[in-house]
Amino acid sequence: MREIEVSKITDVVEKLCIDANEHLPEDVKCAIKDCRACEDGEIAKGILDNIIENFEIADRECVPICQDTGMACVFLEIGQDVHFVGGDLSDAINEGVRRGYDKGYLRKSVVKDPVRRGNTGDNTPAMIYTEIVPGDSVKITVGPKGFGSENMSAIRMFKPSHGLQGIKDFIIETVETAGPNPCPPMVVGVGIGGTFDKAALLAKKALMRPLDSSNPDPFYADLEKEMLEKINELGIGPQGFGGKTTAIGLNIETLPTHIAGMPCAININCHVTRHKTEVI
Amino acid sequence: MAERKITLPLTEKLAKTLHAGDRVLLTGTIYTSRDAGHKRMCESLAKGEEIPFDPKDATIYYVGPTPAKPGQVIGSAGPTTSGRMDAYAPTMMSVGARGMIGKGARLPEVIDAMKKYSGVYFGAIGGAGALLAKCIKKAELIAFEDLGAEALRKLYVEDMPLVVIIDSEGNNLYEEGRAEYLKEHNK
Residue A55 to residues A5, A25, A29, A62, B133, Cα–Cα distance (Å): 35, 10, 8, 10, 13
**Distance (Å, whole) CA B74 – CA B137:** 9
Q: Please check whether residues A17 and A77 belong to one and the same domain.
A: yes
Query: Is there a contact between A235 and B178 if contact means CB atoms under 8 Å apart?
Result: yes
Which amino acid, A176?
Answer: E
For residue A172, being part of any structural domain is answered with yes
Q: Is A167 on the interface with B (CB under 8 A)?
A: no
User: Of A145, A179, A197, at which residue does a domain stop?
Assistant: A145
For residue A44, being part of any structural domain is answered with no
Tell me the residues of chain A between 208 and 227 that have a Cβ less than 8 Å away from chain B: none
> Per the residue annotation, which of B6, B20, B24, B38 is the catalytic one?
B38
Q: Tell me: the pLDDT tens digits for A1-51?
A: 999 999 999 999 999 999 999 999 999 999 999 999 999 888 999 999 999
User: Of A124, A145, A166, at which residue does a domain stop?
Assistant: A145
Q: Please check whether residues A129 and A229 belong to one and the same domain.
A: no
Q: Please check whether residues A179 and A258 belong to one and the same domain.
A: yes
Structural domains counted in chain B? 1
**Distance (Å, whole) CA A206 – CA B11:** 47
For residue A37, being part of any structural domain is answered with no
**Distance (Å, whole) CA A235 – CA A242:** 5
**Distance (Å, whole) CA A208 – CA B157:** 36
**Distance (Å, whole) CA B173 – CA B127:** 19
How confident is the model at residue B14, as a pLDDT?
97
**Predicted confidence (pLDDT) at residue B133 exceeds the cutoff of 60:** yes
For residues A106-112, average pLDDT = 95
Q: Tell me: the pLDDT tens digits for A254-267?
A: 999 999 999 999 99
**Distance (Å, whole) CA B160 – CA B28:** 9
* Percent of chain A at pLDDT exceeding 90: 97
CA B25 to mean position of chain CA atoms: 13
**Predicted confidence (pLDDT) at residue B52 exceeds the cutoff of 70:** yes
* Model confidence band, residue B149 (pLDDT cutoffs 50, 70, 90): confident
Which residues neighbour B70 within 8 Å (Cβ) at sequence distance 6 or greater? Answer: none
Q: Please check whether residues A93 and A198 belong to one and the same domain.
A: no
For residue A60, being part of any structural domain is answered with no
**Predicted confidence (pLDDT) at residue A206 exceeds the cutoff of 80:** yes
Q: Tell me: the pLDDT tens digits for A224-265?
A: 999 999 999 999 999 999 999 999 999 999 999 999 999 999
For residue A116, being part of any structural domain is answered with yes
Q: Tell me: the pLDDT tens digits for B169-183?
A: 999 999 999 999 999
B142 contacts B6 by C-beta, under 8 angstroms: no
For residues A198-223, average pLDDT = 97
For residue A189, being part of any structural domain is answered with yes
For residue A59, being part of any structural domain is answered with no
pTM of the prediction?
Answer: 0.94
For residues B71-78, average pLDDT = 96
Q: B16: domain range? A: 4-185
For residue A251, being part of any structural domain is answered with yes
Q: Please check whether residues A257 and A134 belong to one and the same domain.
A: no
Ramachandran class of A118: left when φ > 0, alpha when ψ lies in -120 to 50, beta otherwise: left
Q: A94: domain range? A: 2-21+65-145
User: Of A123, A145, A167, at which residue does a domain stop?
Assistant: A145
Q: Please check whether residues A223 and A260 belong to one and the same domain.
A: yes
For residues B144-157, average pLDDT = 93
The sheet that has A186-194: what strands, in order across it? A154-158, A262-269, A186-194, A247-257
Q: What is the CATH number of the domain that holds B142?
A: 3.20.130.10
Give catalytic status of residue B19 as yes or no: no
Which residues neighbour B187 within 8 Å (Cβ) at sequence distance 6 or greater? Answer: none
Nearest residue to A17 (alpha-carbon basis) of A78, A87, A99, A138: A99
Query: Quick count: other Cβ atoms within 10 Å of Cβ A80?
Result: 10
Structural domains counted in chain A? 2
Q: Tell me: the pLDDT tens digits for A42-87?
A: 899 999 999 999 999 999 999 999 999 999 999 999 999 999 999 9
How confident is the model at residue B184, as a pLDDT?
85
**Distance (Å, whole) CA B140 – CA B147:** 15
Q: Please check whether residues A16 and A141 belong to one and the same domain.
A: yes
Q: Please check whether residues A136 and A219 belong to one and the same domain.
A: no
Pairing of strands A82-85, A2-5: parallel
Q: Tell me: the pLDDT tens digits for B102-121?
A: 999 999 999 999 999 999 99
Tell me the residues of chain B between 14 and 73 that have a Cβ less than 8 Å away from chain A: 21, 23, 36, 63-69, 72
Q: Please check whether residues A75 and A201 belong to one and the same domain.
A: no
Q: Min CA distance, A177 vs chain B (Å)? A: 10
Q: Min CA distance, B114 vs chain A (Å)? A: 19
* Model confidence band, residue B1 (pLDDT cutoffs 50, 70, 90): low
